[in-house]
């Protein structure tokens, strides 16, 4: 979930000078529209980056029209607040229509901290998240969209940041005993945050994860993300009113600045031929054994393959299945739904073919079609693919809770490499059947697919069902990486 926020994303001064004013103008404009619409947004600035929240708040307060904004830094409840049910303090700071509240610290803070320190157990934490979700759904219904920003720092960066802030006398006061204590629980906080984000991102109030390592990048990303989220809120509110009044609403939405995870991969990674043969044999033998152990342990394994056309999914899958007992695995190629499938809820076709215990199922394309091809080709409506992230997370949570091991592979290639492979298919007779008109058409939407894939990975990569990105420019490298990853995960799962 945090993969896209651990890339070291930066913006240079020049770019910030150029883009900052534009972003600021857009933010002001959307604030004006919000004020006119009668919405009353609440913006939550949250996350692991303790020292980024205040600067972000400062920036927003200075860029926004101050007459329409109130900000609150919530820490421990006051005596007054302690005398009432816990949510009383949050009700107090809801803005009036046309205004906006910005919060540092929110209804998430207490349960996240308590869970990270194991003072809440898993189920108690889930109850808190359920309560928050109901609260946010109610707010959305009542014209209070909640925009949630999570400022994230990778562990190593966080550590350096702490040290740096401590060295600097101007900022030393920012570091409390608590900062260090919390940092010692970095992993627990990260896990808890992932869980919180997964449980409260569905539907009306999704989380936006922002990498916080570089101030300029963070600030600009926060501003464009907030702008877009507010436009979204106005848009759906307009659509809602349009429904009542029968008129149509349309607002153009700019894209938020977002680091692209896939572009960060080192596609030059490759494996020489001799090494490949040796490792193929080594991992195949290991996998064969592990698959038998899976059967004996009655554990299922579900592997998902996604990636651009000609990324080498089929080849990688064949190397996997080549190592397995044919009675134990099944490869499912997912294409357009059948008539019968189309007449059921989206996930029905995947539930339908769920294997029994102890089996391996390999999906060549999968349920992620909804947030990839269906999103890009307009086969699913915006609201359909938007809610699909949460639905898919819930689907996979049910699989993993049942004991199924879920691993999802994204095979990444460059557009140039794809073109080379397309040409090869064109000229090699036995490969021609693989190349269709669709492939050329999809290729034209490369950037759209890449963005969709990046969003998908951010929102659906979880501890229990992770996305694994494979640099797939070299086929040998790809296949060995896939085999190795599967072996490692399965071995770990069988041990745990």
158 or 386: whose CB is closer to a second copy? 386
Q: Which of 480, 474, 472 is nearest to 319 (CA)?
A: 480
Could you give the dihedral angle defined by the CA atoms of residues 473, 330, 337 and 316, in that order, rounded to the nearest 10 degrees?
Answer: 0
Q: What is the DSSP string of 289-328?
A: HHHHHHHHHT--EEEEEE-STTSSHHHHHHHHHTTS-TTT
Candidates 278-286, 342-350, 457-465, 472-480; binding stretch for a second copy (CB under 8 A): 342-350
Question: How far is the CA of 323 from the CAs of 179, 283, 286, in angstroms?
Answer: 49, 9, 9
Minimal distance, residue 387 CB to a second copy, in Å: 6
Question: How far is the CA of 189 from the CAs of 129, 154, 291, 487, in angstroms?
Answer: 15, 12, 34, 28
> Positive or negative CA dihedral for 6, 7, 13, 16?
negative
85 or 378: whose CB is closer to a second copy? 85
With binding defined as CB under 8 A, does residue 351 bind a second copy? yes
Candidates 137-145, 171-179, 275-283, 427-435; binding stretch for a second copy (CB under 8 A): 137-145
Interacting residue with a second copy among 277, 394, 438, 463 (CB under 8 A): 394
Which tokens belong to 58?
A: 């400062």
Interacting residue with a second copy among 12, 88, 168, 333 (CB under 8 A): 88
Candidates 93-101, 167-175, 311-319, 462-470; binding stretch for a second copy (CB under 8 A): 93-101
Candidates 110-118, 327-335, 400-408, 457-465; binding stretch for a second copy (CB under 8 A): 400-408
76 or 79: whose CB is closer to a second copy? 79
SS3 459: helix
Q: Could you tell me if 339 and 347 are in contact, meaning their C-beta atoms sit under 8 angstroms apart?
A: no
91 or 440: whose CB is closer to a second copy? 91
205: number of Cβ within 10 Å: 23
Backbone angles phi, psi at 469, to 5 degrees: -95, 130
With binding defined as CB under 8 A, does residue 169 bind a second copy? no
170 or 327: whose CB is closer to a second copy? 327
Helix %, strand %, coil % of the chain (to 5): 60, 10, 30
One character per residue 94-133, x = contact with a second copy (rule: CB under 8 A): x-xxx------------------------xx-xx--xx--
With binding defined as CB under 8 A, does residue 402 bind a second copy? yes
Q: Could you tell me if 229 and 209 are in contact, meaning their C-beta atoms sit under 8 angstroms apart?
A: no
Q: Which run of H or of E encompasses 35? A: helix 13-37
Q: Footprint of a second copy on residues 226-245 (CB under 8 A)? A: 239, 242-243
With binding defined as CB under 8 A, does residue 446 bind a second copy? no
With binding defined as CB under 8 A, does residue 352 bind a second copy? yes
With binding defined as CB under 8 A, does residue 387 bind a second copy? yes
Checking phi first, is residue 401 left (phi over 0); if not, alpha (psi -120 to 50) or beta? alpha
Chain positions contacting a second copy, by CB under 8 A: 40, 80, 83-88, 91-92, 94, 96-98, 123-124, 126-127, 130-131, 134, 138-139, 141-144, 202, 239, 242-243, 246-248, 340, 343-348, 351-352, 354, 356-357, 383-384, 387, 390-391, 394, 398-399, 401-402, 404
């Amino acid at each position: 979930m945090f993969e896209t926020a651990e890339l070291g994303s930066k913006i240079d001064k020049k770019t910030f000078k150029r883009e900052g004013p534009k972003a600021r103008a857009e933010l002001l404009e959307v604030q004006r529209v919000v004020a006119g619409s009668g919405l009353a947004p609440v913006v939550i600035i949250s996350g692991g980056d303790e020292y980024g929240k205040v600067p972000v708040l400062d920036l927003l307060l200075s860029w926004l029209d101050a007459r329409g904004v109130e900000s609150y830094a919530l820490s421990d409840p006051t005596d007054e607040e302690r005398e009432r049910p816990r949510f009383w303090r949050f009700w107090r700071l809801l803005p009036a229509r046309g205004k906006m509240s910005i919060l540092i610290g929110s209804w998430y803070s207490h349960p996240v901290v308590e869970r990270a320190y194991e003072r809440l157990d898993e189920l108690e934490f889930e109850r808190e998240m359920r309560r928050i979700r109901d609260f946010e759904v109610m707010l959305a219904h009542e014209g209070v969209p909640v925009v949630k920003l999570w400022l994230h720092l990778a562990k190593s960066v966080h550590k350096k940041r702490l040290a740096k802030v401590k060295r600097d006398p101007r900022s030393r006061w920012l570091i409390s005993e608590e900062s260090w204590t919390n940092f010692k629980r970095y992993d627990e906080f990260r896990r808890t945050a992932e869980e919180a984000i997964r449980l409260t991102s569905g539907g009306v109030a999704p989380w936006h994860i922002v990498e916080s390592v570089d101030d300029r990048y963070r600030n600009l990303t926060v501003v464009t993300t907030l702008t877009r989220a507010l436009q979204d809120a106005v848009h759906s509110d307009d659509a809602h009113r349009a429904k009542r009044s029968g008129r149509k609403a349309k607002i153009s939405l700019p894209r938020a600045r977002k680091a692209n995870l896939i572009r960060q991969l080192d596609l030059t990674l490759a494996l020489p031929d001799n090494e490949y043969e040796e490792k193929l044999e080594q991992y195949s033998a290991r996998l064969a054994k592990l698959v038998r152990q899976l059967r004996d342990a009655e554990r299922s394994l579900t592997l998902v393959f996604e990636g651009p056309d000609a990324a080498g999914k089929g080849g990688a899958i064949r190397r996997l299945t080549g190592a397995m007992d044919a009675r134990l695995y099944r490869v499912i190629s997912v294409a357009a739904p059948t008539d019968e499938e189309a007449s059921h809820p989206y996930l029905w076709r995947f539930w339908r073919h769920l294997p029994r215990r102890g089996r391996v199922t390999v999906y060549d394309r999968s349920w992620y079609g909804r947030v990839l091809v269906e999103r890009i080709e307009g086969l699913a409506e915006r609201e359909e693919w938007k809610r699909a992230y949460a639905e898919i997370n819930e689907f996979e949570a049910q699989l993993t809770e049942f004991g199924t091991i879920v691993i999802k592979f994204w095979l990444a290639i460059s557009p140039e490499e794809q073109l080379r492979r397309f040409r090869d298919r064109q000229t090699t007779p036995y490969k021609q059947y693989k190349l269709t008109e669709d492939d050329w058409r999809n290729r034209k939407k490369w950037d759209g697919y890449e963005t969709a894939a990046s969003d998908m990975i951010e929102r659906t990569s979880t501890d229990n069902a992770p996305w694994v990105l494979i640099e797939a420019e070299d086929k040998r490298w790809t296949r060995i990486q896939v085999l190795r990853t599967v072996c490692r995960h399965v071995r770990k799962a069988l041990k745990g």
